[in-house]
């Protein structure tokens, strides 16, 4: 299976702390994307990193990609209670191919 695996499955932190989630995959990718899903809602695209990129920033989000280890991490800095959600990585293994989603990391940020 090409499906990505997220780690940890669940993460609980205090407001203001940083949250780090990891994603590993098995076969080479074209790009890797992170999505957020608030409870009972649809997924929202957060950030995309291409296979030739190593790091990308968007506001309080920082994504890194290590293609040699076939892994990515999503860092949320200075977390807020509103960041409480499930976070999914999705990999694309060739241009024109479908997105393959991992099982997600459930993040809980306590006020």
Partner 1 sequence: EAQVTQNPRYLITVTGKKLTVTCSQNMNHEYMSWYRQDPGLGLRQIYYSMNVEVTDKGDVPEGYKVSRKEKRNFPLILESPSPNQTSLYFCASSTKGQAVVTGELFFGEGSRLTVL
Interface residue with partner 1 among 12, 18, 28, 44 (CB under 8 A) is: 44
Question: Any contact of residue 57 with partner 1 (CB under 8 A)?
Answer: no
Looking at residue 16, the DSSP 8-state letter turns out to be T
Question: Any contact of residue 8 with partner 1 (CB under 8 A)?
Answer: no
Question: Any contact of residue 52 with partner 1 (CB under 8 A)?
Answer: no
Report residue 88 as tokens. Answer: 């999914």
Nearest to 19 by CA among 11, 9, 27, 29: 11
Question: Any contact of residue 43 with partner 1 (CB under 8 A)?
Answer: yes
The stretch near partner 1 (CB under 8 A) out of 14-22, 61-69, 72-80, 88-96 is 88-96
Helix (H, G, I), strand (E, B) or coil at 81: helix
Question: Any contact of residue 3 with partner 1 (CB under 8 A)?
Answer: yes
Q: How buried is 43 (Cβ within 10 angstroms: 0-12 exposed, 13-18 middle, 19+ buried)?
A: middle
Interface size with partner 1, residues (CB under 8 A): 24
Q: Which helix (H) or strand (E) holds 99?
A: strand 99-101
Gap between the Cα atoms of 36 and 89, Å rounded: 9
Interface residue with partner 1 among 88, 106, 107, 109 (CB under 8 A) is: 88
- Per CB under 8 A, residues contacting partner 1 are 3, 30-31, 33, 35, 40-45, 48, 88, 90, 92, 95-99, 101-104
């Amino acid at each position: 299976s090409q499906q990505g695996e997220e780690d940890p499955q669940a993460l609980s932190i205090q407001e203001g702390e940083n949250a780090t989630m990891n994603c590993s995959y098995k076969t080479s990718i074209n790009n890797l994307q992170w999505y957020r899903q608030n409870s009972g809602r649809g997924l929202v695209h957060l950030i995309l990193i291409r296979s030739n990129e190593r790091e990308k920033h968007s506001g309080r989000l920082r994504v890194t990609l290590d293609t040699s280890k076939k892994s990515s991490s999503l860092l949320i800095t200075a977390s807020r209670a509103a960041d409480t959600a499930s976070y999914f990585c999705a990999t694309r293994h060739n241009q024109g191919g479908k997105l393959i989603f991992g099982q997600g990391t459930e993040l809980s940020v306590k006020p």
